[in-house]
Amino acid sequence: MKVFGVSGTSNSGKTTIVEEIIIELGNRGYSVGSVKSIGCGKDDDYHDSTDSFSIDRFGTDSYIHKEAGSKLVTTWAENETALIYPRRLEIEDIILNYNHDFLIIEGFKKSGLPKVITGQSREDVNLLMSDSVFAISGKISDEESEINGIKVYKTFEEVNELVDLIVENVPEYKYLDTNINLKVFNKEVDTESVERELYGLLKKLGIHNQDVKISISEK
């Protein structure tokens, strides 16, 4: 699975370019998952922690479950299923829930994942610039075609070109800091699912980013 982010300032065209990327990847036959980071609860003069976004509301049965102490609440309906954790998960734990060709994470500016950034001005873009940025888009594309040597893609007109770049340059997501190579009857096996399961197990054991040596022998 290839994982990348789309980050930007408010009202800079993030969701629009995410929508266009999802549509174009889908048109090419890829499966796509997405995560939306919602930046509420800023603890300033206008917000407090009670302003934080929640899909649950006071008085619902699921809210009562959560307040009673349930560590994971699932709402199960005819057309949707929602798992509600009463805490903020680490991004790595969220990624474990996905198994698609591509996963797009909108927001989460501090992530070191490869990312597309959006802005309304050069100043916006420069505030978000980092070594992980490989493309620029959003409203700034109405004024600029390149910033700091990085191409600015027009949201609608150049989405095909942007998706070409994503497909060709975003690497496979690495769950572990080690490479796992697996052969069965001298045939290479895709180990992403193995690595995913192993990473999940290590997380449960409280082991993070450790070198792991795997030995497989014949019975």
User: Do 28 and 162 form a contact (C-beta atoms < 8 A)?
Assistant: no
Tell me, rounded to whole angstroms, the distance of Cα 1 from its chain centroid.
11
> Which among 216, 178, 175 has a CA at the least distance from the CA of 199?
175
Residue 173: count of CB within 10 angstroms of its CB: 19
pTM score, whole prediction: 0.79
Count of CA atoms in the C-beta half-sphere (13 A) of 201: 7
- Digit-by-digit pLDDT tens for the chain (219 residues) are 999 999 999 899 999 999 999 999 999 999 999 999 886 544 444 334 445 667 788 889 999 999 999 999 999 999 999 999 888 888 888 998 899 999 999 998 888 999 999 999 999 999 999 999 999 999 999 999 999 999 999 999 999 999 999 999 999 998 776 666 666 777 776 666 667 777 777 777 776 655 566 555 554
Which domains can be identified in the chain, with CATH numbers?
2-37+50-169 (3.40.50.300), 174-219 (no CATH)
Write phi, then psi, for 206 (nearest 5 degrees).
80, 20
User: Do 95 and 103 form a contact (C-beta atoms < 8 A)?
Assistant: yes
